[in-house]
Structure 1
Amino acid sequence: MASETVQSEFADKSIGPTTQSYDIVTSLYRNEDQAALRRKTSQYLFNYGTRFMKDVICGAKGLYVYTAAGHRVLDWTSGQMSCLLGHGHPEIVKTIADHAANLDHLFSGMVSPPVITLGERLCSLLPPGLDKAFFLSTGGESNEAAVKLAKVYTGKFEIVAVNGSWHGVTAQALSVQYHYGRKGQGPLMPGMHMLPAPNAYRSIFRHPDGSYDWETELDYGWSLIDQASCGSLAAVIVECIQSSAGIHVLPAGYLKALKNHCEKRGMLLIVDEAQTGVGRCGDMMAILHEDVVPDILTLSKTLGNGLPLSAVVTNSDIEKVCVERDYCFYTTHVNDPLPAAVGNKVLEIVQRDHLVEHSRAMGKILHEGLVVLKQRYGCIGDVRGRGLMAGVEIVADRVLKTPAPELARSIADKAYDLGVWANLSSHGSFSGTFRIAPPITVTRDQILEGIQLLEQAFAATPGAMPLY
């Protein structure tokens, strides 16, 4: 019944491309010439591994971004999956301004109230066993620190990750990353091993009834690692939802089984919640949904609402041993007060405004709407995710599950032109999957707006295989 309600609300509506002025933000760059900016982009900016989009963004507010040409686009990926509360949230803006004026950056050995308060607030939201935190800048940096922490604590050096993972581009983080970016630089860190990705849609591991047999797949993966290991297994690092791999949710029980495998081998479990943390998926943290306490938790992206802020959280026992063994991860911006103040304000707003519950409710509407689209267009092979994190995989044939990245790109381009940005990675390993993760402040009307625009994009793209 609920999906029928969603279906009826966007079935007959039509929203076209939106072009409107945005005085508050675009006034900063009101007179910019987009064509000139594109020429300068080509002339001066280095391509660091992505295809720059055709438009130059000159404004961002709430759930929308604005181009130099005045095109308004619904941002269904929260920037780089980071603006949890939307762009330009007034309380975040005030926090930034106050701390830029009065308490911005300090010597890395100094401590300040925003850092202390953020540590207290964050640890109080986590289960016992995650009670010691420090704060860095990016997700890759936090994962780098977590891997080093595991190595120093265990005295071992082999790290296990999951096929399709994305943990960052620094040395150790990149070495446990199996989605993209490993080529062209010679040897990576030694002792890195890979488990098969828990891809319920495409995995060859099946029960006789056709359902996904993730337990056999996981056990098989560990049997290969045990054979390859030199006997120095230190840790596993994993995402609760593999975003860059195409929004693949760990099957129920997977994380608990993974921890059991770690304990059996004397390893630590590191969970990377860069995108799933702080309410995105309908729980304050995804580990709470799984009822699993990792040895180390990393956060980034959502914690800073778009500012560079990440966290490493562990327990007192691990801290004690690592201090004794001279663990060091001393950076220029470790425990900086300004981003810490922003993170503290993010957590305050999420709790105060009941945004975890809101994310869960809005996620239900989002997924219902996407399922309706799947019922209407044969090119949608799978809809998956949890809360306000969703993946829509585009295929050329539902039975054969043939990837259709070019078709997906055409749909994505049309959707953007119509006014909704739902990220589609330009990397072939992504298999043509939309990654949808709007700010958790999104309203019901904004979700329906995005569904309507996607509906129009599918309807206008040859090859979408309408079923009506």
Structure 2
Amino acid sequence: METTSQQAVQSAEAQVRSDDRNHVFHSWSAQALIDPLPVAGGAGSTFWDYSGKKYLDFSSQLVNLNLGHQHPRLVEAIKRQADRLATIQPAFANDVRGELARLLAERAPGSLNKVFFTNGGADANEHAVRMARHHTGRRKILAAYRSYHGGTTTAMSLTGEPRRWANDPGDASVVHFFGPYPYRSAFHASSAAEETQRALEHLESVIQLEGPGTIAGVILETVVGTNGVLIPPPGYLKGVREICDRYNLVYIADEVMVGFGRIGEWFAVDAFDVVPDLLTFAKGVNSGYVPLGGVLISDAIAETFANRAYPGGLTYSGHPLACAVGVETMHVFEDEQIVQRVRDLGERVVRPELERWQREHPSVGEIRGRGLFWAVELVKDQSSREPLVPFNASGEAAAPMNAVAAACKAEGLWPFTHFNRVHVAPPLVISEEELRRGLDIIDRALVQADALVTG
């Protein structure tokens, strides 16, 4: 016989399901074809459903939960700030807003000394583009095909991947180009050095053909996130910086996903010794506990708006609750040596394990990544590199990747899959034991893909 407490839990879950299915309209989904899992709680690197089944969160939700679920210091920061001042509009000076801006500027490279706060990553990219256009007096923005920059109008136009298709026409002043991807080179390169050289030549050709005097800037994810965890080959980002300088273009680094320790650096550009003119952030700045994003702005671009108004603003820009969590996040990173432990776990635990998968699993075509951000690209044939599923697969065509994901979930791991890849992106506070356990689960799940190898 069910206990009263069990009945109460089941009733609560039933109410969550009912409310969700009857009233919540979900993003990127055919509403009648989804069945969202009701989540009852979370702690650290784990969350659980109403039946008590626990899942290792190997996607950090949407690669934003860098400090994990319910970090006590972040929760306490919200409580302290709510007791003192829950909100204030952005025209006023506010202590935690200013402190977070200072802490960000102190950590950022070069002269990125000013911060414009937004509600998240998409509007951070929107405002970065607006700043670049007003600074240069030009309109066009160049963006890579393999990219995602957000769901608002200009951010979606910047996006190169298929989610853009149904939203076109958007901002007609965006021009796409091919970024480097050595494993599937658009330039027929046979080495990383060739890929860098040819990708830069391609970018410069696009600039020349579009007209340098019509282009405001170039936006790039420092490490391409959802679309492949593509680590730029040596010299590529420095080459982009040089090209932008040559043609007086604004270089915008989108670090919404890869900033704040994800690849073992405070800011991902630090790994490539390059300084952009604008750097956008969100997600890991406060692990999404309260929505927050922003743009780090160089002195030169900030000076453009010294004596003329910047034509943009947001009601919740620099919201005190969000900034208070951001300030505490910066302190937690220091106190718990997050950046250092991410580097260590990435090189000592993740890289050797994924390299073993590449040797032992015939379905693993390539592994790539840094820190706690990795992609495992699955193929039908290692020689031909034919993807395990077609590009932008859905329905029955996506079944092989769905089988891998289902095998992970059955063992208590919530994976991050996209197209023909499994990504490894757990919270940065994950323990070594949890990390190894999660990798073991994916290792076993790859048997589902191995069975479909044809070459």
**RMSD over aligned Cα atoms:** 2.3
**C-alpha contact 2:182 2:191 (8 A) present in aligned 1:** no
1:440 to 397, 421, 428: 428
SS in structure 1 of the partner of residue 184 of structure 2: coil
Asked if structure 1 preserves the Cα contact closer than 8 Å seen for 2:187 and 2:198, the reply is yes
Aligned-partner Cα distance in 2 for 1:230–1:244: 30
Shift of the alpha carbon at 1:231? 3.1
Q: Distance in 2 between matches of 1:154 and 1:211?
A: 32
Indicate conservation of the 8 Å contact 1:164/1:242, yes or no. Answer: yes
Q: Letter of the aligned partner of 2:341 in structure 1?
A: H
Larger displacement relative to structure 2 (212-221 or 330-339): 212-221
State the Cα distance separating 1:34 from its structure 2 match: 4.5
Q: Could you tell me how far apart the structure 2 residues matched to 1:350 and 1:42 are?
A: 38
Per the normalisation by structure 2, the TM-score is 0.90
Preserved contact between residue 401 and residue 449 of structure 2 (Cα < 8 Å): no
* One-letter amino acid of the structure 1 residue matched with residue 226 of structure 2: S
The TM-score normalised by the length of structure 1 is 0.88
Match of 1:291 in 2: 273
Cα offsets for 1:22-46 (capped at 9, x unmatched): xxxx99x944465664454333222
Aligned position for 1:308:
291
1:406-437 residue CA offsets vs partner (Å, 9 max, x unmatched): 32221111111111122113xxxxx3111221
Higher mean Cα deviation, 159-168 or 209-218?
A: 209-218
Residue pair 1:269, 1:295 contacting (<8 A) in 2 also = yes
Matches within 5 A, 1:33-432: 34=13, 37-50=16-29, 52=34, 54-207=36-189, 213-229=195-211, 231-306=213-288, 307-364=290-347, 365-405=349-389, 406-425=399-418, 431-432=419-420
Distance 2:280 2:189 in 1: 34
**Count, aligned residues:** 436
CA–CA distance in 2 between the matches of 1:293 and 1:230?
21
Q: CA deviation at 1:448?
A: 0.7
Rate the CA distance shift 1:294–1:221 in 2: closer, same or farther, 3 A: closer
Partner SS, residue 370 of structure 1: helix
| Structure 2 SS opposite 1:242 | coil
Counterpart code for 1:300: A
Q: 1:209 to 1:56 in 2, by over 3 A?
A: closer
Q: Could you tell me how far apart the structure 1 residues matched to 2:235 and 2:86 are?
A: 43
**Structure 1 alignment gaps of length 5 or more:** 1-25, 426-430
Q: What whole-Å deviation, never above 9, does each CA across 1:78-129 have from its counterpart, x for those lacking one?
A: 1111111110000001001111222221122112110111111111112231
Structure 2 vs 1, CA of residues 320 and 222 (structure 1 numbering), >3 Å: closer, same or farther? same
Q: Deviations over 1:359-412 (max 9, x none)?
A: 000111112112212222111111111111000111111111111133222111
Instruction: Give 1:229 deviation, angstroms.
Output: 3.6
Partners of 2:363 and 2:449 within 8 A in 1: no
Residues 462 and 379 from structure 1, CA distance in 2 versus in 1: closer, same or farther, beyond 3 angstroms? closer
In structure 1, what residue type is equivalent to 2:311? C
The alpha-carbon deviation at position 456 of structure 1 amounts to 2.2
SS at match of 2:69: coil
Whether the 8 Å CA contact 1:238–1:270 is kept in 2: the answer is yes
Taking the aligned partners of 2:191 and 2:88, their CA distance within structure 1 comes to: 60
Once the 2 structures are TM-superposed, how far is the Cα of residue 47 of structure 1 from its aligned partner? 3.7
Question: Offset of 1:207 from its aligned partner?
Answer: 4.3
Please tell me whether the aligned partners of residues 152 and 325 of structure 1 are also in contact (alpha carbons under 8 angstroms).
Answer: no
Any unmatched runs of 5+ in structure 2?
Answer: 390-398
CA distance in 2, matches of 1:156, 1:228: 12
